[in-house]
């Protein structure tokens, strides 16, 4: 086994029980690695995941700090994707030609990529990934779902190997960053769109885009690239892929507006697949349960990816009709006295909140937002908030003053200290026909991962008495 007795440094244990860090730790420890875990967080902050690893007695820990010597002397470095590729400690490893992996590249090393569908994008990737999985499951019952959507694929590696199942993975730019180490890309690779994001961790859009590009970089003949025609950046990239890619790779475009040579688009109220210049109706647009124009685009992307893998059109149509969405993405919680509550807590970029706001009638939205920017421009989101919302409720954050100035003195704004007060304030002002929408478009302080935030919000709303 390639990990046996290897001196491996795992950087960042993470906070999710099924997440990248702890899953990689279990994977490596179970394979006999000489494992050291280093994390800037202290023991009490990592208590949950440390408890999971108690059964592995030989793991060494360096918590609350990093030591440069560990990075220089390791044979292998495995990083939690939350550790930015630009970290000076990782630079030390690169200078020593030490390979850097993450949980996704470890999975690819063991499973290969021939049965992998990977999805990336600034927004829409979670819904697209989950919908592709639902489509695949109609035909391949053992199809697996993982990645940035909440569960590391290392956790189901054995089951996937046993059933030779298709694996559908949401892949962040930080996870894609290390594909250069293994020179592998998914068999079917999907790029939903590109907008400014994570510019607090990248020097510019150029570097952010370069990491996204790696989802296609190592594809081979017989693979498929699925890309958005309606996004100017991805459209140009798709056109480049057609000219420069490996012979025999398919490039499939999806569009809300234009018929592609190969791919999927909308026509006369139908999702339509174009294959070998032939148009095939998949199912009516009215069949989907998903809200918003952005989800029509996500559905088209999923159709292309599933066809690229070999899923039948009847299986695809059935999944579209039954798929109810993804938790924490425009998730309907409940209706109380004519007021509908939606949880869109994973909207941590302005474009995600813009898409959410466009899904509801103007002046009927009470929006819960506020927090910190990841370096993304806020102007477009602020303009839509100003025009579409009835009331804005701000959680604590560094950009709130800037956001208030953009919204102007006439916008009704309330600042609160926590999520419970935000929900109570929203309910206090809500009237029949209104929508209470948790969709930050930002990250919050104190730091709380978006999934925990969503669960807290749902519990608060479910306790409201009618």
DSSP state string for 51-102: HHTTT-TT-EEEESS--HHHHHH-SEEEE-TTS-TT-HHHHHHHHTT--EE-
Structurally, at CATH architecture level, domain 104-322 sits in: 3-Layer(aba) Sandwich (3.40)
362: three-class secondary structure by DSSP = coil
| 68-119 per-position pLDDT tens digit | 999 999 999 999 998 988 899 999 999 999 999 999 999 999 999 999 999 9
Grouping H, G, I as helix, E, B as strand and the rest as coil, residue 149 is coil
User: Which ranges of the chain have pLDDT less than 50?
Assistant: none
Q: So what's the pLDDT on residue 448? A: 62
Q: What share of the chain is helix, strand, coil (3-state, %, to 5)?
A: 40, 20, 40
**Tokens, residue 464:** 């409201």
Q: Which DSSP letter does residue 398 get?
A: T
Q: Cα torsion for 442, 446, 449, 451, to the nearest 10°?
A: -80
Q: Round to whole Å and give the CA distance between 409 and 392.
A: 12
pLDDT at position 245 is 85
- What size, in residues, is the chain? 466
pLDDT at 425: 97
Q: Name the CATH superfamily, with its identifier, for domain 7-99.
A: NAD(P)-binding Rossmann-like Domain (3.40.50.720)
Contact 41, 64 (CB under 8 A): yes
Contact of 381 with 371, CB cutoff 8 Å: no
Q: Determine the pLDDT at residue 150.
A: 84
Which residues does 239 contact at the CB level (< 8 Å), separation at least 6? none
CB-CB contact of 372 with 441 (8 Å)? no
CATH number listed for the domain at residues 331-462:
3.90.190.20
Beta bridge pairs of residue 436:
341, 366
Sign, Cα dihedral of 320, 334, 291, 375? negative
Domain locations along the chain:
7-99, 104-322, 331-462
Largest interatomic CA distance in the chain: 65
Give me the pLDDT at residue 202, please. Answer: 75
What tens digit of pLDDT does each residue of 300-349 get? 999 999 999 999 999 999 999 999 998 888 999 999 999 999 999 989 88
N-term to C-term CA, the chain: 59
pTM to 2 decimal places:
0.89
Q: Are 226 and 214 in contact (CB under 8 A)?
A: no
């Amino acid at each position: 086994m390639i990990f046996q007795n290897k001196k491996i440094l795992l950087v960042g244990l993470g906070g999710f029980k099924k997440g990248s860090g702890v899953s990689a730790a279990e994977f490596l420890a179970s394979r006999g690695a000489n494992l050291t875990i280093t994390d800037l967080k202290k023991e009490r902050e990592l208590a949950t995941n440390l408890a999971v690893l108690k059964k592995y007695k030989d793991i060494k820990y360096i918590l609350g700090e990093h030591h440069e010597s560990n990075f220089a002397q390791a044979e292998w470095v495995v990083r939690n994707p939350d550790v930015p590729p630009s970290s000076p400690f990782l630079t030390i490893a690169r200078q020593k030609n030490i390979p850097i992996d993450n949980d996704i590249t470890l999975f690819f090393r063991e499973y290969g990529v021939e049965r992998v569908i990977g999805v990336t994008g600034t927004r829409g990737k979670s819904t697209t990934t989950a919908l592709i999985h639902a489509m695949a499951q109609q035909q391949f019952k053992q199809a697996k779902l993982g990645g940035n959507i909440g569960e590391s694929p290392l956790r189901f590696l054995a089951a996937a190997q046993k059933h030779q199942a298709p694996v559908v993975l949401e892949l962040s730019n930080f996870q894609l960053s290390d594909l250069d180490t293994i020179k592998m890309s998914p068999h079917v690779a999907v790029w939903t769109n590109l907008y400014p994001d994570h510019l607090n961790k990248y020097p510019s859009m150029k570097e952010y885009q370069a990491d996204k590009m790696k989802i296609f970089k190592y594809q081979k003949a017989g693979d498929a690239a699925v890309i958005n025609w309606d996004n100017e950046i991805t459209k140009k990239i798709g056109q480049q892929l057609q000219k420069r890619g490996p012979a025999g790779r398919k490039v499939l475009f999806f569009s809300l507006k234009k018929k592609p040579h190969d791919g999927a688009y909308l026509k006369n109220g139908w999702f339509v697949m174009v294959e070998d210049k032939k148009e095939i109706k998949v199912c009516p647009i009215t069949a989907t349960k998903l809200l918003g124009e952005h989800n029509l685009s996500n559905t088209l992307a999923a159709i292309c990816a599933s066809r690229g893998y070999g899923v039948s059109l009847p299986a695809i149509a059935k999944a579209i009709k039954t798929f109810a969405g993804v938790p924490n993405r425009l998730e309907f919680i409940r209706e109380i006295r004519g007021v509908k509550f939606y949880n869109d807590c994973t909207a941590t970029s302005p474009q995600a909140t813009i898409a959410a706001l466009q899904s509801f009638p103007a002046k009927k939205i009470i929006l819960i937002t506020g927090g910190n920017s990841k370096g993304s421009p806020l102007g477009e989101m602020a303009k839509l908030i100003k025009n579409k919302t009835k009331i804005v409720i701000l959680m604590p954050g560094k950009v709130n003053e800037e956001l208030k100035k953009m919204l102007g003195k006439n916008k009704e704004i309330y600042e609160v200290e926590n999520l419970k007060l935000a929900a109570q304030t929203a309910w206090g002002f809500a009237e029949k026909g209104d929508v209470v929408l948790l969709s930050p478009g930002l990250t919050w302080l104190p730091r709380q991962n978006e999934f925990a935030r969503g669960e807290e919000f749902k519990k608060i709303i479910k306790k409201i008495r009618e």
